[in-house]
């Protein structure tokens, strides 16, 4: 919605964000990186809490949240409850400070249900099982697709055919 209204929006995976902040800090460009990230009207941080964040990452992440606090919008997607955020950060006081700023003006949208990825995978596997059952009927011709790995398999070797008797 914000992107459709031409608001500046930036989407990033949490782990990638932390790595970018660490790299900017190492290259002595952290101030510039924080300034760029603070300018977006909407920052979407995906998969928050899937990987633990060390003390340096927590400190850098805090600086970003503090800079954006009460000025711009930030969206987090996570499968962790707020009570589990202490497990994500190596530094509990930093986790509390970050949560304090996030929860001050936030709206929490709790989505419950099955993962759409698992749902799609189950449907795929069900369809695949039907195909396999059909292919291995008596006398059926089976085609096996071999993935080309960076051009290592010649195009003519792409498909092989077997007669099942």
SS3 letters for the chain?
A: CCCCCCCCEEEEEHHHHHHHHHHHHHCCCHHHHHHHHHHCCEEEEEEECCCCECHHHHHHHHHHHHHHCCCCEEEEEECCCHHHHHHHECCHHHHHHHHHHHHHCCCCCCCCCCCHHHHHHHHHHHHHHHHHHHHCCCCCEEEEECCCCCCCCCHHHCEEEEECC
**pLDDT value, residue 80:** 87
Query: Nearest Cα to 41, choosing from 13, 75, 85?
Result: 75
pLDDT tens string, the chain, 165 residues long: the values are 556 777 899 999 999 999 999 999 999 999 999 999 999 999 999 999 999 999 999 999 999 999 999 999 999 998 888 888 888 998 899 999 999 999 988 888 887 777 666 777 777 777 766 654 544 444 444 343 333 334 443 444 444 443 333
pTM of the model: 0.69
């Amino acid at each position: 919605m914000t992107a459709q209204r031409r608001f500046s929006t930036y989407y990033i995976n949490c782990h990638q964000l932390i790595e970018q902040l660490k790299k900017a800090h190492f290259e002595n460009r952290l101030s510039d990186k924080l300034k760029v990230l603070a300018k977006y009207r909407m920052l979407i941080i995906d998969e928050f809490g899937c990987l633990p964040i060390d003390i340096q990452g927590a400190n850098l992440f805090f600086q970003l949240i503090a800079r954006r606090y009460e000025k711009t919008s930030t969206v987090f997607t996570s499968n962790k409850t707020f009570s589990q955020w202490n497990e994500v950060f190596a530094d509990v006081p930093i986790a509390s400070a970050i949560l304090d700023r996030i929860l001050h003006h936030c709206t929490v949208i709790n989505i419950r249900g099955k993962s759409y990825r698992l749902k799609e995978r189950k449907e795929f596997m069900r369809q695949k099982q039907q195909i396999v059952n059909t292919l291995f009927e008596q006398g059926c011709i089976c085609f096996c697709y071999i993935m080309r790995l960076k051009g290592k398999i010649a195009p003519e070797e792409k498909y092989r055919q077997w007669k099942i008797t």
